[in-house]
Amino acid sequence: MASNEKNNSDGLTDTFFSVAELARALATTPRTIRFYEDKGLLAPCRAGVMRVYTKRDRARMVLILRGKRLGFSLQEIKEYLDLYELDPTQADQLRLLKRRVGERLEMLEKQRQAIDEMMVELKDIEEQSLSALHSALQGSGPV
């Protein structure tokens, strides 16, 4: 990562990151960062042909990665990030986040309930199978 307030050999200061530095700092790949750039979630500056990411870009990338990890779509993440630009108070952004988190929690709760029901049914099938196997083996004589 860039050094404290000194220029790196590539001319960047600690407030800027190359794609490789940003990827390393966030434990991801340069390809992932470029993907989010292609999708319009990041807009790094350029220093010649090199992409230059700011602390703001790093913060956006942290939010993007967190949003993906929590199951939000790229469109939902983009909508959330775009609101930040439009509303300096962040009230709209926070309202949207609260609504989307509530929706996601509701969906996950339904999925958990469906999984619990499937597990009960599968355990019942497993018990029936074991019982039938036990009966079949007893009826065929010594094993």
Question: Tens digit of pLDDT for each residue in 68-99?
Answer: 999 999 999 998 888 877 777 888 888 888 99
CA 87 to chain centre: 24
Burial profile 70-99: b = 16 or more Cβ within 10 angstroms, e = fewer: eebeeebbbebbebeeeeeeeeebeebbee
Q: What does the pLDDT look like over 105-142, one tens digit per residue? A: 999 999 999 999 999 999 999 999 999 999 988 876 55
